[in-house]
Amino acid sequence: MSDARVPLFWVDAFCEGPFTGNPAGVCLLDRPGSDFGMQALAREIGLSETAFVWPGS
């Protein structure tokens, strides 16, 4: 996560239609980041749920 640019998607989780459900962040990474880095990014995003996904995860 050394690159300052991380693709981020804001999604509605657990919903059946738009603008319902719970907001969640999904970050696409090239590889796993450090625990500290991923926690800091999740804190910066400010959503109650943030998922990190990388190839093979």
Give catalytic residues, as residue numbers. 49
Cα angle 18, 20, 22 (rounded to 5 degrees) comes to 120
Tokens of 48: 């109650």
Rounded-to-integer distance, Cα 43 and Cα 47, Å: 8
